[in-house]
C-alpha cells in the first residue's frame, strides 16, 4: 500500500509545482510526486537519501544522479479487477484517508501514464474480451477475477515486442474445471488478434479469503497458454565506455525483474562494467540480471537465489562458468565463511527489508575487495552501510537511480572498497 504524502512535499517552493499528468493522481496514491516538476522530484529524493545517510556519520562521496524519462517507463504493472455498476474494470487500491480506518477502496482507472503504452492497451482489450464472454468469465465461473499482471520486453510498437499476462483468480477449488483450459486458450487467441505481441498467459489460483497482502500469498498455477515467459534484451550502455555486450534474459512469467525499461542498461553498467577477476558472487540474483553481464569477465560467477520461478530461469542459463545456488543468502554466506571463500567482487541486491546485520557481518568476514550494494530502500541502507563500514569498508561511490519516477521510491547503488 503506497504511503500517504509526507508533509514535506506539501509546502512547495516556487517553480516546483507541476500539473499531474494522470487524472487519478491523489486518490490512486501510487504516484505521490506527480504534483512536482521532474527536477523537483529528483531534488526531493536526493535530499531524502542524503538525510537518511547523514545519520550514519559516515564519510560519503557526492551522489551521482541518474534520471529517467518520467513517464511510460514501467515494463510491468499489476492491476486489481472488480465489477463496478455491472462492468468489469481494472484499477488500483485507493490510498485510505489516515483519519478513516475503513477498508481500502477499489479505484477504477482509465489510464496509467507511467506504464509502457502496450500494457494499458492490452488490459483494455482483455477487459473487453471478458465482457463479451461474460457467461463464462463473470456470471457462472467458479472463481472471482482478482488481479491482472502484464509484462513486456520492449518499447511499444516494435516488431520484437512480447507480452505476458498473469490472471489471478480467487477460488475455494483446488483446480479449475477442465473446460477452462480450452476457454482460456480461445480467449488468448482472440486477444492476440488485437495485441499481436501477446506470447503467453497463465491463470493463477488464490485462496478465497485474501491474506494480509498479496506479497505473502502463494498462488497455485492453473491453465496456461503460449510460452511460459519471454526473452528480455538489454543493449550495451551508451556511450560505449565499458566492456559490456548486449545481454538477453529469459524471464519466466511471474519472476522478479526490474521495471524501468529505460534505466536497465545504466543499472547493469554501474554494477558490471569494466569489472574483472577470478570469482564474483551475485547475491539475491533473481533471474541473473547482473550474473549474465559479469560472466564473460570472471573465471567463475556464483549466483545465489532462493525464490521460484527466478531460480529456475537462473539455473537454466547456458553459462559454463556460472554456478547457481538455490539458497537463502545468509545460509550461503555462513557456509562460505567456513570454506574461507574470498571472491574478487560481491554484488547484492536485497529486498526492501535490506541485507540485515547478520548478512553484513558475514560479508565483512569474507572481506571481498569490492562490494556493490543495490538498494531499493533508504530506510534499511544506512544501517547496512554502517555495519559494513565498521569492518573496514569505505563507500567509494554513491549513485541514485530514479527507477520509479513520480513516486517516492528510491533506488541507490553503493560501491564499497577496502
pLDDT at 180 over 90: yes
| The total number of structural domains that make up the chain | 2
Domain end marker among 227, 257, 281: 227
Statement to judge: residues 255 and 396 lie in one domain: yes
pLDDT at 316 over 90: no
Statement to judge: residues 239 and 359 lie in one domain: yes
Q: If you average pLDDT over residues 21-40, what whole number do you get?
A: 93
pLDDT at 230 over 60: yes
Statement to judge: residues 188 and 281 lie in one domain: no
Statement to judge: residues 247 and 223 lie in one domain: no
Q: What angle do CA 196, 201, 206 make, to 5 degrees?
A: 150
CATH number at residue 102: 2.40.50.1070
Statement to judge: residues 177 and 237 lie in one domain: no
Q: Is residue 361 part of a domain?
A: yes
CATH number at residue 255: 3.40.50.150
pLDDT at 3 over 50: no
pLDDT (tens digit per residue) in 78-103:
999 999 998 999 999 875 555 555 56
Q: Is residue 272 part of a domain?
A: yes
Q: Is residue 44 part of a domain?
A: no
Q: Please list the alpha-helical segments (H only) found in 340-418.
A: 357-366, 381-390
Burial of 363 (C-beta count, 10 Å sphere; 0-12/13-18/19+): buried
Q: Is 219 helix (H, G, I), strand (E, B) or coil?
A: coil
Statement to judge: residues 156 and 263 lie in one domain: no
Domain end marker among 227, 259, 293: 227
Q: What confidence score (pLDDT) does residue 209 get?
A: 77
Q: What confidence score (pLDDT) does residue 101 get?
A: 55
Average pLDDT of the chain is 90
Domain range holding 385? 233-417
Q: Is residue 58 part of a domain?
A: no
Residues 119, 154: contact at Cβ < 8 Å? no
pLDDT at 211 over 70: no
Question: How many other C-beta atoms can be found within 10 angstroms of the C-beta atom of residue 330?
Answer: 13
Total count of residues recorded for the chain: 418
> Band of the pLDDT at 314, cuts 50, 70, 90?
confident
Domain end marker among 192, 227, 262: 227
How far apart CA 259 and CA 256 sit, in angstroms, is 9
Q: What confidence score (pLDDT) does residue 241 get?
A: 67
Q: Is residue 193 part of a domain?
A: yes
Percent of the chain with pLDDT over 70: 90
Amino acid at each position: 500500500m503506497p504511503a500517504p504524502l509526507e508533509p514535506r512535499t506539501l509546502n512547495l517552493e516556487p517553480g516546483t509545482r507541476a500539473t499531474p499528468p494522470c487524472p487519478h493522481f491523489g486518490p490512486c496514491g501510487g504516484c505521490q510526486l506527480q504534483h512536482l516538476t521532474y527536477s523537483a522530484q529528483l531534488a526531493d529524493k536526493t535530499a531524502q537519501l542524503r538525510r537518511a545517510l547523514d545519520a550514519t556519520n559516515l564519510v560519503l562521496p557526492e551522489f551521482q544522479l541518474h534520471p529517467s524519462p518520467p513517464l511510460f517507463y514501467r515494463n510491468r504493472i499489476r492491476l486489481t479487477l472488480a465489477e463496478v455498476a455491472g462492468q468489469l474494470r481494472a484499477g488500483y487500491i485507493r490510498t485510505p484517508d489516515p483519519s478513516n480506518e475503513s477498508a481500502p477502496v477499489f479505484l477504477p482507472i482509465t489510464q496509467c501514464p507511467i506504464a509502457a503504452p502496450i500494457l494499458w492497451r492490452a488490459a483494455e482489450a482483455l477487459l473487453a474480451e471478458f465482457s463479451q464472454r461474460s457467461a463464462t468469465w463473470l456470471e457462472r465461473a467458479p472463481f472471482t477475477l482478482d488481479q491482472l499482471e502484464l509484462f513486456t520486453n520492449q518499447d511499444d510498437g516494435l516488431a520484437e515486442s512480447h507480452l505476458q499476462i498473469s490472471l489471478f483468480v480467487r477460488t475455494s477449488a483446488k483446480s479449475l474445471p477442465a473446460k477452462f483450459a480450452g476457454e482460456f486458450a480461445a480467449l488468448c487467441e482472440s486477444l492476440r488478434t488485437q495485441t499481436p505481441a501477446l506470447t503467453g498467459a497463465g491463470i493463477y489460483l488464490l485462496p478465497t479469503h485474501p491474506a494480509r497482502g498479496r506479497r505473502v500469498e502463494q498462488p497455485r498455477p492453473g491453465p496456461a497458454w503460449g510460452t511460459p515467459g519471454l526473452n528480455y534484451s538489454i543493449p550495451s550502455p551508451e556511450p560505449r565506455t565499458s566492456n559490456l555486450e548486449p545481454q538477453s534474459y529469459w524471464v519466466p512469467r511471474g519472476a522478479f525483474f526490474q521495471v524501468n525499461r529505460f534505466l536497465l542498461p545504466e543499472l547493469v553498467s554501474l554494477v558490471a562494467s569494466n569489472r574483472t577477476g577470478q570469482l564474483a558472487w551475485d547475491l539475491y540474483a533473481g533471474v541473473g540480471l547482473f550474473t549474465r553481464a559479469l560472466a564473460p569477465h570472471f573465471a567463475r560467477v556464483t549466483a545465489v537465489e532462493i525464490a521460484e520461478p527466478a531460480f529456475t530461469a537462473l539455473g537454466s542459463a547456458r553459462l559454463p562458468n556460472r554456478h547457481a545456488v538455490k539458497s537463502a543468502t545468509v545460509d550461503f554466506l555462513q557456509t562460505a565463511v567456513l570454506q574461507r571463500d574470498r571472491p574478487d567482487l560481491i554484488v547484492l541486491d536485497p529486498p526492501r527489508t535490506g541485507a540485515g546485520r547478520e548478512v553484513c557481518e558475514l560479508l565483512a568476514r569474507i572481506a571481498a575487495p569490492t562490494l556493490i550494494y543495490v538498494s531499493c530502500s533508504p530506510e534499511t541502507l544506512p544501517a547496512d552501510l554502517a555495519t559494513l563500514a565498521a569492518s573496514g569498508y569505505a563507500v567509494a561511490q554513491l549513485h541514485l537511480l530514479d527507477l520509479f519516477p513520480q513516486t517516492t521510491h528510491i533506488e541507490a547503488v553503493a560501491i564499497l572498497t577496502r
